[in-house]
Amino acid sequence: MADLGKIIEKALNAGFTDAAPLDVATLELREDIRANCEENKCGMYGKCWSCPPACGELDELRGKIKKYSQGIIVQTYGELEDEFDFETTRELMKKHSASVKKLAGELAEEYDVLPLGAGTCGLCETCSYPDPCRFPKYQISSMEAYGLFVSDVCKKNNVQYYHGKNTQTFVGCYLLR
Ligand code: SF4
Protein backbone atom coordinates (compact mmCIF):
# COMPACT_ATOMS: atom_id res chain seq x y z
CA MET A 1 0.00 0.00 0.00
CA ALA A 2 1.21 3.48 -0.82
CA ASP A 3 1.95 5.87 2.04
CA LEU A 4 -0.71 8.53 1.36
CA GLY A 5 0.84 10.94 3.87
CA LYS A 6 4.06 10.88 1.85
CA ILE A 7 2.14 11.32 -1.42
CA ILE A 8 0.16 14.26 -0.02
CA GLU A 9 3.45 15.88 0.98
CA LYS A 10 4.77 15.36 -2.56
CA ALA A 11 1.54 16.92 -3.92
CA LEU A 12 1.98 20.05 -1.80
CA ASN A 13 5.63 20.25 -2.90
CA ALA A 14 4.46 19.98 -6.53
CA GLY A 15 2.55 23.24 -6.02
CA PHE A 16 -1.02 22.24 -5.17
CA THR A 17 -2.81 24.43 -2.64
CA ASP A 18 -4.39 21.45 -0.95
CA ALA A 19 -4.29 17.64 -1.05
CA ALA A 20 -6.20 14.96 0.85
CA PRO A 21 -6.88 11.21 0.75
CA LEU A 22 -9.51 10.07 -1.77
CA ASP A 23 -11.78 7.09 -1.18
CA VAL A 24 -11.96 5.46 -4.64
CA ALA A 25 -15.36 3.96 -3.74
CA THR A 26 -16.81 7.51 -3.95
CA LEU A 27 -15.99 7.80 -7.66
CA GLU A 28 -19.20 7.66 -9.67
CA LEU A 29 -18.68 7.89 -13.44
CA ARG A 30 -21.76 9.70 -14.73
CA GLU A 31 -23.03 9.82 -18.29
CA ASP A 32 -24.57 13.30 -17.74
CA ILE A 33 -21.21 14.77 -16.72
CA ARG A 34 -19.39 13.09 -19.56
CA ALA A 35 -22.04 14.44 -21.98
CA ASN A 36 -20.85 17.99 -21.14
CA CYS A 37 -17.66 17.26 -23.08
CA GLU A 38 -19.71 16.84 -26.24
CA GLU A 39 -20.69 20.51 -26.02
CA ASN A 40 -17.00 21.13 -26.77
CA LYS A 41 -16.74 24.39 -24.81
CA CYS A 42 -12.99 23.80 -24.41
CA GLY A 43 -12.55 23.02 -28.12
CA MET A 44 -10.73 19.72 -27.40
CA TYR A 45 -13.55 17.25 -28.06
CA GLY A 46 -12.28 14.81 -30.69
CA LYS A 47 -8.90 16.55 -30.75
CA CYS A 48 -6.83 14.65 -28.17
CA TRP A 49 -6.30 11.05 -27.06
CA SER A 50 -7.02 11.97 -23.43
CA CYS A 51 -10.38 13.59 -24.25
CA PRO A 52 -13.70 12.06 -25.36
CA PRO A 53 -14.42 10.18 -27.45
CA ALA A 54 -10.83 8.85 -27.85
CA CYS A 55 -10.24 8.30 -24.09
CA GLY A 56 -12.83 5.52 -24.11
CA GLU A 57 -16.46 4.92 -23.20
CA LEU A 58 -17.45 5.18 -19.53
CA ASP A 59 -17.83 1.40 -19.16
CA GLU A 60 -14.26 0.98 -20.32
CA LEU A 61 -13.08 3.71 -17.91
CA ARG A 62 -15.05 2.12 -15.04
CA GLY A 63 -13.08 -1.07 -15.70
CA LYS A 64 -9.86 0.91 -15.79
CA ILE A 65 -10.33 2.62 -12.42
CA LYS A 66 -11.44 -0.62 -10.71
CA LYS A 67 -7.86 -1.81 -10.37
CA TYR A 68 -6.90 1.19 -8.21
CA SER A 69 -7.47 0.88 -4.49
CA GLN A 70 -6.10 4.18 -3.16
CA GLY A 71 -6.00 7.79 -4.18
CA ILE A 72 -5.55 11.42 -3.35
CA ILE A 73 -7.53 14.49 -4.37
CA VAL A 74 -5.71 17.75 -5.11
CA GLN A 75 -6.74 21.37 -5.56
CA THR A 76 -5.28 24.62 -6.81
CA TYR A 77 -7.31 27.64 -5.77
CA GLY A 78 -6.93 31.34 -5.37
CA GLU A 79 -8.67 34.68 -5.15
CA LEU A 80 -9.84 36.64 -8.17
CA GLU A 81 -10.08 40.44 -8.29
CA ASP A 82 -13.69 40.03 -9.40
CA GLU A 83 -15.83 37.55 -11.33
CA PHE A 84 -14.38 38.83 -14.64
CA ASP A 85 -10.76 38.27 -13.63
CA PHE A 86 -10.03 35.81 -16.43
CA GLU A 87 -6.30 36.51 -16.29
CA THR A 88 -5.95 35.10 -12.75
CA THR A 89 -8.24 32.20 -13.69
CA ARG A 90 -5.91 31.37 -16.60
CA GLU A 91 -2.86 31.64 -14.33
CA LEU A 92 -4.42 29.32 -11.75
CA MET A 93 -5.31 26.81 -14.47
CA LYS A 94 -1.75 26.96 -15.81
CA LYS A 95 -0.35 26.44 -12.31
CA HIS A 96 -2.73 23.53 -11.68
CA SER A 97 -1.82 21.81 -14.99
CA ALA A 98 1.89 22.21 -14.27
CA SER A 99 1.44 20.65 -10.81
CA VAL A 100 -0.68 17.81 -12.24
CA LYS A 101 2.07 16.97 -14.75
CA LYS A 102 4.89 17.29 -12.21
CA LEU A 103 3.30 14.99 -9.64
CA ALA A 104 2.13 12.51 -12.32
CA GLY A 105 5.74 12.16 -13.48
CA GLU A 106 7.07 11.73 -9.95
CA LEU A 107 4.45 9.16 -8.94
CA ALA A 108 4.89 7.16 -12.16
CA GLU A 109 8.46 6.43 -11.09
CA GLU A 110 7.21 4.54 -8.02
CA TYR A 111 3.61 3.47 -8.58
CA ASP A 112 1.01 2.35 -11.09
CA VAL A 113 -0.82 5.69 -11.15
CA LEU A 114 -3.79 7.12 -13.00
CA PRO A 115 -3.69 10.93 -12.90
CA LEU A 116 -6.84 12.91 -13.68
CA GLY A 117 -6.59 16.66 -14.06
CA ALA A 118 -8.63 19.59 -15.29
CA GLY A 119 -8.68 20.16 -19.04
CA THR A 120 -6.83 18.37 -21.77
CA CYS A 121 -3.67 16.22 -21.44
CA GLY A 122 -1.09 18.91 -22.13
CA LEU A 123 1.93 16.59 -22.04
CA CYS A 124 2.77 17.51 -25.63
CA GLU A 125 2.57 21.01 -27.01
CA THR A 126 0.19 19.66 -29.66
CA CYS A 127 -1.50 16.28 -29.32
CA SER A 128 -0.61 13.78 -32.04
CA TYR A 129 -4.30 12.78 -32.40
CA PRO A 130 -5.41 11.02 -34.61
CA ASP A 131 -1.88 9.66 -35.10
CA PRO A 132 -0.77 7.36 -32.25
CA CYS A 133 -0.31 8.92 -28.81
CA ARG A 134 3.36 9.65 -28.08
CA PHE A 135 3.14 8.67 -24.40
CA PRO A 136 0.06 6.43 -23.96
CA LYS A 137 1.19 5.28 -20.50
CA TYR A 138 1.42 8.86 -19.24
CA GLN A 139 -1.48 10.69 -20.90
CA ILE A 140 -3.66 12.71 -18.50
CA SER A 141 -7.44 12.91 -18.90
CA SER A 142 -9.67 15.33 -17.06
CA MET A 143 -11.96 14.25 -14.23
CA GLU A 144 -14.90 15.36 -16.40
CA ALA A 145 -13.78 13.10 -19.27
CA TYR A 146 -14.18 10.25 -16.78
CA GLY A 147 -17.70 11.45 -15.96
CA LEU A 148 -16.74 12.68 -12.50
CA PHE A 149 -18.76 15.50 -10.96
CA VAL A 150 -15.86 17.39 -9.39
CA SER A 151 -17.68 19.21 -6.56
CA ASP A 152 -19.45 15.98 -5.61
CA VAL A 153 -16.15 14.06 -5.44
CA CYS A 154 -14.80 16.81 -3.16
CA LYS A 155 -17.89 16.71 -0.93
CA LYS A 156 -17.83 12.91 -0.60
CA ASN A 157 -14.19 13.12 0.46
CA ASN A 158 -14.74 15.95 2.96
CA VAL A 159 -12.72 18.40 0.89
CA GLN A 160 -13.98 21.98 0.62
CA TYR A 161 -14.68 22.92 -3.01
CA TYR A 162 -16.10 26.44 -2.68
CA HIS A 163 -13.54 28.76 -1.10
CA GLY A 164 -15.65 31.90 -1.06
CA LYS A 165 -16.87 34.69 -3.35
CA ASN A 166 -14.52 35.51 -6.22
CA THR A 167 -12.37 32.44 -5.84
CA GLN A 168 -11.55 29.83 -8.45
CA THR A 169 -10.79 26.18 -7.71
CA PHE A 170 -9.25 23.54 -9.99
CA VAL A 171 -9.31 19.91 -8.92
CA GLY A 172 -7.53 16.72 -9.86
CA CYS A 173 -6.94 13.28 -8.46
CA TYR A 174 -4.45 10.44 -8.59
CA LEU A 175 -5.50 6.82 -8.34
CA LEU A 176 -2.86 4.40 -7.15
CA ARG A 177 -2.10 0.77 -6.61
S1 SF4 B 1 0.69 12.33 -24.37
FE2 SF4 B 1 0.78 13.80 -26.07
S3 SF4 B 1 -0.05 12.61 -27.80
FE4 SF4 B 1 -0.67 11.52 -25.93
S5 SF4 B 1 -2.71 12.32 -25.36
FE6 SF4 B 1 -1.17 13.56 -24.28
S7 SF4 B 1 -0.83 15.33 -25.60
FE8 SF4 B 1 -1.78 13.72 -26.87
**Three-state secondary structure along the chain?**
CCCHHHHHHHHHHCCCCEEEECCHHHCCCCHHHHHHHCCCCCCCCCCCCCCCCCCCCHHHHHHHHHCCCEEEEEEEEEECCCCCCHHHHHHHHHHHHHHHHHHHHHHHCCCCEEEEECCCCCCCCCCCCCCCCCCCCCCCEECHHHCCCHHHHHHHCCCCCCCCCCEEEEEEEEEEC
Q: What percent of the chain has pLDDT above 70?
A: 100
When pLDDT is cut at 50, 70 and 90, the band that residue 17 belongs to is: very high
pTM value?
A: 0.95
Express each pLDDT in 123-147 by its tens digit. Answer: 999 999 999 999 998 999 999 999 9
Ligand 1 centre distance from Cα of residue 34 (Å): 20
Q: Which residues line ligand 1 (CB under 6 A)?
A: 48-50, 121, 123-124, 127-129, 133-135, 139
- Give residue 154's pLDDT: 98
**Ligand 1 pocket, mutate which of 51, 101, 116, 124 (most atoms under 8 A from CB):** 124
Task: Give the atom of ligand 1 at the shortest distance from the alpha carbon of 126.
Answer: 7
- Give residue 5's pLDDT: 97
**Ligand 1 pocket, mutate which of 127, 138, 140 (most atoms under 8 A from CB):** 127
- Give residue 57's pLDDT: 97
How much is the mean pLDDT over the chain?
A: 97
